Amino acid sequence: MSIAVNWANPYETRDGAWFKGNLHAHTGEGSPCGSVPSQRVLDLYGQAGYDFLAVSDHMYLNLPERSELTLIPGVEWNASKGGHTGIYSLDLDTIRHAIDSEDHDLLLKSLSRPDTLVVLNHPNWQLVPHYRREQLYALGPFDGIEIYNGVIERLPGYAIATDKWDALLINDQRVFGFASDDSHVETDIGLAWIMVRSTACQPAPLLESMRHGNFYCSCGVVLSDIRREGNVITIESENAQEFHAIVDGGRCMARVSDAVIVYDVSGLDAVYVRFAAYGPGSTMAWTQPFFLR
């Protein structure tokens, strides 16, 4: 994408606060497999403590009129051969034109613009195989992939897709990791989310922060701070029990049984490092990658 990203430190900008949100939610009005009315979806996300939401129905631009949540316009675009892509933009015509597109490659090229966010959805969903590695290498440009998709916990496939994320990163395809619950029924709501550091809980600054990578993914672990000072990266958490420092292709270089990790990357022979946090039960969180070269 055309926006400039500080890949050495996506969390360099420390202004603002953390806001909880989900970019992948469906309703009964706009998705054939959704069953929850739009207003009920908004109410449930609000009750679950979310600050912002994108209603990304399949090939349908759903714009709810009333919500206490900050709403980001979006759609889930469906390729004829199975791949699904989340498209988010404040320019509604961009989304409408995307819905009318039939060619995935041409669509992604047309969306390479600083006011649009593009995420490849549930790469490890197996009902219709989504995004083999060879496809991911050939596709582009796009901003990120879903590294955790909650609804795949109950569907064929694997909810976690950090394997394909690492395959992209080591191939020097610098993309962000996203998490969502991909809600279709009420019990899907609240499975996973992203925490975005932004100066305001408004669509434009939220999207800008996401486009720069100033966010992390979670299905239960809360990260209170992420910072890099020189060669030292520090991650602090409210409820993490263990941190992993993960480098090229998914190799774990360090395990720390604590709610904080202080990791010195000087002398580390790696292209990038990212961090995974593990909390009570099966809860996790994931940072964006810090590129070292």
Share of the chain above pLDDT 90, in %: 84
- pTM (whole model) above 0.85: yes
Instruction: Return the number of other C-beta atoms located less than 10 Å from residue 217's C-beta.
Output: 26
Spatial separation of the C-alpha atoms in residues 180 and 177, rounded to whole Å: 10
> In terms of Cα–Cα distance, which of 236, 161, 206, 259 is closest to 18?
206
Q: Identify any residues that bridge with 96 across adjacent strands, giving them in sequence order.
A: none
Going by pLDDT thresholds of 50, 70 and 90, the confidence category of residue 140 is confident
> In terms of Cα–Cα distance, which of 21, 9, 32 is closest to 189?
21
Is the pLDDT at 285 greater than 90? The verdict is yes
Paired tokens of 208: 């800008």
- The string of pLDDT tens digits covering residues 98-110 is 999 989 889 999 9
Spatial separation of the C-alpha atoms in residues 157 and 153, rounded to whole Å: 8
User: From the DSSP assignment, how many helices (H) and strands (E) are in the chain?
Assistant: 6, 18
Least reliable range by pLDDT among 42-46, 129-133, 160-164, 218-222? 129-133
- The string of pLDDT tens digits covering residues 204-224 is 999 999 999 999 999 999 999
**DSSP, residue by residue, 176-230:** EEEEE--BSSGGGTTS-EEEEEESSSSHHHHHHHHHHT-EEEESSPPEEEEEEET
Mean pLDDT of the chain: 94
The whole-number pLDDT of residue 131 equals: 84
Is the pLDDT at 9 greater than 80? The verdict is yes
DSSP 243: E
What is the average pLDDT across 141-165?
Answer: 95
Least reliable range by pLDDT among 81-95, 166-180, 272-286? 81-95
What is the average pLDDT across 147-153?
Answer: 96
